Amino acid sequence: MKEFSIFFIWFLNLLLLESSCAADSSVVNPCCSYPCQNGVCERFGPESYRCDCTNSGYYGDSCEIQELWIRFRLSTKPRRPILHYIMTHFQWFWDVVNSCFLRNAIMYLILTIRDEIIPSPPIYNTKYGYVNMESLHNISSTRLLPPIPEDCPLPMGTKGKPQLPDPGVLTERFFRRKTFRPDPQGSNLMFAFMAQHYTNQFFKTDHSVQGVFTKALGHGVDAGNIYGDNLVRQHHLRLHEDGKLKYQTVNGDVYPPTVAEVPVHMLYPERVLPEDRLAIGHEMFGLLPGLSMYATVWLREHNRVCDILKAEHPTWDDEQLFQTSRLIIIGEIINIIIEEYMQHLTGYLVNLKFDPTLLFKTRFAYSNRIALEFAHLSHWHPMMPDSFLIDGDDIPYSQFMSNTSLLMHYGVEKLVEAFSHQPAGQIGGGHNSHAEALKASEMVIRESRAMRMRPLNEYRKRFKLKPYTSFYELTGDVEMARGLEELYGDIDAVEFYPGLLLENTLPTSLFGESMLEMGASFSLIGLMGNPICSSQYWKPSTFGGETGFNIVKTSTLKKLVCLNTKWCPYVDFHVPRNEDETNPGKPSTEL
């Protein structure tokens, strides 16, 4: 009997040992090494896989060989760095392009090349690394590349170290600012706050649900940051008269109302009383005066547009005035973002153009889904300065954050003047994040691991960029390259967000090639995919007639500010280029 039980235990052990061996060491999911260059990796038995190259433009066992027509097209196209150089140099050439039909042709090319990269309908989400209906219908989460398979031997697949570097160590060692490094492209805080104000209408992380990252239903420009992301909030914020939004008047100027009057949830530190809390579409926009400043400007603009519409349509009720004004505001946002913000961001010398009719003859999907990758790459914390210089005062973070009286103390004019003069920090290149921002970067890294995001090099391939072959090629800096190599072990294991921030910056640019290519693709396709850009919407009647349509088509950042202020400050996304631009209150003839 005893002998039998020993035998039995021995046999049981053998069984357990066998099965644990089978699960752990011998068989590795072949898709973990991302073997399908441009296709889909499909696993068959435990150790075999096949690459599905259908419709990818590639063939071969790893979808690595370009079809002839692509090879031909690429051979006629200059390489990316050269293309970027051309787009940002030769002013005389672009002057000619900008003044003739070629501008439209170039804009068309820019849009259609980007459109090939972003899939519509979307394919993956965090739960599913394969095509399915669930991730198509679950509109709150999508991603460009599927997650790293769960059963891979190493955190990033098959390369790198068994343990990823501690996020705190990464941010301390590579992100923390030594001395403030201004953006060589000349971006200012007006640009930095616009970036935050604009993108936060579609990046709204929902931390209550695992694997889901956005609460914003619009998945694009819907001005939910101005009107609230749900109907209840919107109705609280509306005056219900002439289409307008509620406001308060302080020293003769219009500002958002307070939470004491408009009971919507706003995130403020507890010490701030309801009478001091501003009620704004986005619950976070009270945290930074730069954001409440933009909120104030858009509120004034909305109410200004309502007056114009009411004068032309005296029969319209509150609802129609509100809805039509909102469409005009959405159009203004898209126009300003493409023609000024993207123009500044890309550094291109061709004048970017917001003209939906360019795409009317192309197959283009008027729908958009905000991707996890887009949300992550848009964490541009290094832009924030060491302190804020306003009207001769040097204001530290402790007095700037959540300070509602600051907005009314200086007024929109002086804030715009100040933010347009103060340089923003360079985003790329490392060592430029203010201590206040390190925690937020750490969170992005932690989240990307929870979401099992693939390495930077896999994303480079997805965007048709050459994967980096060494740490030095990535950073262009010996010291950082050595540090990263020590922590990651393999260039193919470098994570998405740290890689983007530490990538070698393009000459005199805000950041590196990957950030520019990926960010611009997501942005442009998202903007042009807005329903108002479709042929059924893009017509005068949508915007209350030619007057409203023209407000959209001729909107500028300067008009947005100066049609809603008592005097016209220096306003731009670029710090002043020469002395006479800096004169405040200069009479302006352009408006």
Ligand X SMILES: *[C@@H]1O[C@H](CO)[C@@H](O)[C@H](O)[C@H]1NC(C)=O
Dihedral class, residue 165 (left if φ above 0, else alpha if ψ from -120 to 50, else beta) = beta
Tokens at 472, concatenated:
């030095």
CB atoms within 10 A of CB 354: 21
Residue 215 vs 409, nearer CB to ligand X: 409
Closest distance of CB 265 from ligand X, Å: 21
Closest distance of CB 98 from ligand X, Å: 43
Could you give the string, one character per residue 88-117, with x where binding to ligand X holds by CB under 6 A and - elsewhere? Answer: ------------------------------
Residue 100 vs 133, nearer CB to ligand X: 133
Amino acid at 333: I
Closest distance of CB 209 from ligand X, Å: 5
Instruction: Provide CB contacts within 8 A for 333, sequence distance 6+.
Output: 198, 221, 223
Please report whether residue 321 would count as binding ligand X according to CB under 6 A: no
Residue 128 vs 227, nearer CB to ligand X: 128
CA distance 452 to 150: 8
Please report whether residue 493 would count as binding ligand X according to CB under 6 A: no
Please report whether residue 387 would count as binding ligand X according to CB under 6 A: no
Tokens at 357, concatenated:
């009719």
Tokens at 416, concatenated:
């715009």
User: CB under 6 A: which stretch of 290-298, 350-358, 405-413, 414-422 binds ligand X?
Assistant: 405-413
Which residue matches tokens 């042709």? 105
Residue 269 vs 587, nearer CB to ligand X: 269
Residue 247 vs 268, nearer CB to ligand X: 268
583: burial class by Cβ within 10 Å (0-12, 13-18, 19+)? exposed
Amino acid at 81: P
DSSP secondary structure string for all residues of 500-535: HHHSPBPTT-SSBHHHHHHHHHHHHHHHHTSGGGST
Closest distance of CB 280 from ligand X, Å: 18
Closest distance of CB 393 from ligand X, Å: 6
Residue 32 vs 272, nearer CB to ligand X: 272
Given 50, 161, 409, 461, the residue binding ligand X (CB under 6 A): 409
Closest distance of CB 423 from ligand X, Å: 21
Given 230, 405, 469, 541, the residue binding ligand X (CB under 6 A): 405
User: CB under 6 A: which stretch of 41-49, 71-79, 354-362, 397-405 binds ligand X?
Assistant: 397-405
DSSP secondary structure string for all residues of 516-582: HHHHHHHHHHHHHTSGGGSTTT-SGGGGTSHHHHHHHHT--HHHHHHTTSSS-----SB--SSGGGG
Instruction: Provide CB contacts within 8 A for 6, sequence distance 6+.
Output: none
CA distance 556 to 572: 10
Closest distance of CB 396 from ligand X, Å: 9
Residue 278 vs 528, nearer CB to ligand X: 278
CB atoms within 10 A of CB 508: 12
Count of residues in contact with ligand X, rule CB under 6 A? 12
Please report whether residue 313 would count as binding ligand X according to CB under 6 A: no
Peptide bond into 121 cis (omega under 30): yes
User: CB under 6 A: which stretch of 110-118, 399-407, 418-426, 509-517 binds ligand X?
Assistant: 399-407
Task: Print burial letters for 486-501: b (CB count within 10 Å at least 16), e (below 16).
Answer: ebbbbbbbbbbbbbbb
Site for ligand X in 118-157 (CB under 6 A): 127, 138, 140
Site for ligand X in 327-386 (CB under 6 A): none
Residue 412 vs 527, nearer CB to ligand X: 412
Closest distance of CB 526 from ligand X, Å: 21
Site for ligand X in 156-215 (CB under 6 A): 209, 211-212
**Rg, C-alpha atoms of the chain:** 26
Residue 409 vs 464, nearer CB to ligand X: 409
CA distance 453 to 156: 8
Residue 211 vs 545, nearer CB to ligand X: 211
Closest distance of CB 288 from ligand X, Å: 12
CA distance 304 to 514: 40
Sign of CA dihedral 303, 307, 308, 312: positive
Tokens at 230, concatenated:
């749900």
User: CB under 6 A: which stretch of 71-79, 404-412, 548-556, 582-590 binds ligand X?
Assistant: 404-412
Amino acid at 55: N
- The alpha helices in 89-175, defined as continuous H runs, are 91-98, 102-115, 133-137, 167-170
Please report whether residue 273 would count as binding ligand X according to CB under 6 A: no
Please report whether residue 288 would count as binding ligand X according to CB under 6 A: no
Site for ligand X in 418-437 (CB under 6 A): none
Please report whether residue 525 would count as binding ligand X according to CB under 6 A: no
Enumerate the β-bridge partners of residue 59: 65
Closest distance of CB 133 from ligand X, Å: 11
Closest distance of CB 212 from ligand X, Å: 5
Closest distance of CB 52 from ligand X, Å: 25
CA distance 312 to 306: 10
Enumerate the β-bridge partners of residue 182: 425
Given 156, 192, 383, 406, the residue binding ligand X (CB under 6 A): 406
CA distance 150 to 162: 14
Please report whether residue 553 would count as binding ligand X according to CB under 6 A: no
Residue 153 vs 211, nearer CB to ligand X: 211
Closest distance of CB 139 from ligand X, Å: 8
Residues that bind ligand X (CB under 6 A): 127, 138, 140, 209, 211-212, 395, 399, 403, 405-406, 409
